[in-house]
Amino acid sequence: MASFTVYYWPGKGRAENVRLILEAAGVPYENKYPSDWPAEKPTLPFGQLPALIINDEKTKQTTTLAQSAAIVRFLARKFNLVAEDPLAAAIADSVWEHTIEVSNKIIRLVWLTPKEEKPAEIEKFKQEVVPGFIKAQTAILEKNGNNGIYAGNKLTYVEIAAYNAIDELNTLIPGTITATTAPALWKVHELVANDDKIKAYLASPRRHEM
Ligand SMILES: N[C@@H](CCC(=O)N[C@@H](CS)C(=O)NCC(=O)O)C(=O)O
C-alpha cells in the first residue's frame, strides 16, 4: 500500500488533474502547500510543482514524482483509468496533449498576463484558440460515437482532464462550452461531473476555489 500527498499551492492550477484522478479512483490523499518556497524549490526534482509524494508503506521508501503529465499517467495506469487497447490509449494521450496546450494558454492568461493586456489577450484567445479546440475535440468525439468518450468505451484520465479544461475555459470566459456551443464536449463534461466519486468531490470542501 502507498499513501499519496499532492504538493502544490492551495489552488487548482496544474495539480487539479492529479486530485481529480485520485478522487475518481477513490484513493485518499493529503494536500501539502509550500510554506517557504525558495527553500523548498531546490528539494524538488525539477524545482517546480506539482509533485506527488508517494510513501510506500511496505518498503518505507518515499518517492517525489514531478511533472503533472507523468503524475497523472502514473496514477491513471495504477488505478485503471487508461484504455486497454494501445491505439485507444494513444488517441487519448493525443487528446490530453491538445487539452494541456489549451490549459497552459489559460494559465498564462490568468497568471502571467499584465492586467491591462488581459481583455485584449482574452479576446484573441476566444477568437483564435477556442474554435480550433472545439472543432478538433468534437471531430474525435464524433468519430467515437459522440458518447462523451474520446476513444474506446471506458472513462479514462483524458475525459477527466477535458472536464477540467472545460471548467477552466468556462471560468475564464463564461458560457464558452455549453450543450449549445459545443454539444459533444458538453457530453464529456456531464459524464465526468456525474461520476459518483467526482460528484462527491465537487461538492466537498476538498475542492479548491480557484
Ligand atoms: N511541466 C511542468 C510545469 C510545472 C510548472 O510550471 N509549475 C509552476 C507552477 S504551475 C511552478 O512550479 N512555478 C514556480 C517556479 O518555477 O519556481 C508540469 O506540468 O508539472
Work out which ligand 1 atom sits closest to the CA atom of 48: 12
Residue 62 lies in domain:
2-79
pLDDT value of residue 1: 78
Nearest residue (CA) to ligand 1, atom 12: 48
∠ Cα 50 72 53 (to 5°): 50
In angstroms, the CA 82 to CA 158 distance is 8
Return the best residue to mutate from 7, 37, 49 for the ligand 1 pocket (most ligand atoms within 8 A of CB).
49
CA nearest ligand 1 atom 1, residue: 67
* Residue among 21, 142, 178, 154 nearest 84 (CA): 154
Q: What is the pLDDT of residues 45-62, one digit of tens each?
A: 999 999 999 999 899 999
Q: Is residue 206 part of a domain?
A: no
- The percent helix, strand, coil of the chain (3-state, each to 5) is 55, 10, 30
pLDDT score of 162 = 98
Q: Which residues of the chain have pLDDT under 70?
A: none
Query: Is 203 among the domain residues?
Result: no
Is residue 96 within 6 Å of ligand 1 at its C-beta?
no
Q: What is the structure's pLDDT at 2?
A: 86
Domain shared by 72 and 100, yes or no: no
Domain end point (choices 30, 46, 79): 79
The whole-number pLDDT of residue 5 equals 98
